[in-house]
Amino acid sequence: MNLALKIFRTKNRVMGLIRPKSTINQAKELFLTPRKFPIKDWEQEQELKGTRFKLNNGLSVISWGQSERKVLLVHGWESRATQMSGFVDHLLSQGFQIYALDGPAHGQSEGKQANPYVFAEAVSNVYESLGPFEAVIAHSMGGSAVSVALSQMDSSVVSGLNKVVLISSPSSIRNVLERFSGFIGLSASNTTKFVRLIEEVVGQPTEALDTASNVSKLLCEGLVIHDKSDLEVPYEDALAIVDSWKSTRLVSTEGFGHRAIIRQPSVWKEVADFLV
């Protein structure tokens, strides 16, 4: 842990005692406001190969290829569509057209703040505007959003969906909030208040956003991929998701971590083979 983080955590612990409401509000703003990072050269290369456009609701989407068989890519928190583009070449070779969205307040989409539920609403909007999709591939919180969206959409809308891939996805949003709260140094009592505040802002109880419970409602075939050394979302989350999802298979990796896992050729191939 670096010195800046230690100071930040200590400040939150102290201010959490003196001014708990203000400290919790600051934690809320921090959690709901995604950071944006410079685009990588390999992302820019894939960007130039695709077609970028915006939907009426301000969501930015990029597509590659042309086909009646469509796949949707959904990135995770503080990521963007092009970070999922490693899957594109494999999927194009199998005859798919690929769509990838920038979530609200991410990439080139509009907005300054986001949360798992508005991500799910974005997935639903893209699905209804550009679908139907034969498969969906999602990373991290994008997996939570996909599970919420698919579990809430009418079965007739998702009837053509055959396969869903969840990579490094959390099983419980409450656990995500509690891990975040602990990471920034909030006390147990302030963590409880922080979770309640996020629920108020989102307008949904955390249980309604849990991947493990929502995938249990899906009828399509699933593939869960998770790294055993993931420090952001514990490997146990993958086990919980698989335990709830009848028609799914778990692929475990080692040494890729949480974010680099979607940049691995072996993972791209595993997903592409699953979609055949």
Q: Which residues contact 106 (CB under 8 A, 6 or more apart)?
A: 34, 36, 75, 78, 79, 80, 114
Q: Where is pLDDT greater, at 137 or 15?
A: 137
Residues in the chain: 276
Place of tokens 């974010």: 259
Which range has the worst mean pLDDT, 19-23, 126-130, 162-166, 211-215? 19-23
Which pLDDT band holds residue 158 (cuts at 50, 70, 90)? confident
- State the average pLDDT over residues 242-254: 95
Distance CA 190, CA 205 (A): 17
Predicted local confidence at residue 13, as pLDDT: 76
- Maximal CA-CA distance, the chain: 60
14: pLDDT strictly greater than 70: no
Q: Is the pTM value of this prediction over 0.85? A: yes
Please, what is the end-to-end C-alpha distance for the chain in angstroms? 43
Nearest to 51 by CA among 81, 78, 27, 22: 81
18: pLDDT strictly greater than 90: no
